[in-house]
Structure 1
Amino acid sequence: MGVAEAPEGSTALEIAASALRRASSFFPKERREFSIRRAAVVTANPALHERELLKMAGLAVSLTAAIHDRGIPHATARLAAESCLTVLGVSFERWIQEGETAAFHDLAIAILAELVAALTPPSSSDRRPRQAD
Structure 2
Amino acid sequence: MTTPSAPQTPEQPFAAEQPAAPAKKGSRILKKVGGVVVAIAVAIAVKFGLPHLTGDAPVHAKAGECVTVTGPDNDPKVDTTDCSSGKADLFKVVKVIDDTFDVNKCGAELSALAQQLESDKFVLCLEEVPAK
TM-score computed with the length of structure 2 as normaliser: 0.22
Point out the structure with the larger strand share: 2
Point out the structure with the larger helix share: 1
Identify which of structures 1 and 2 has the higher relative contact order when contacts are C-alpha pairs closer than 8 Å and 6+ apart: 1
TM-score computed with the length of structure 1 as normaliser: 0.21
Which protein shows a greater Rg?
Answer: 2
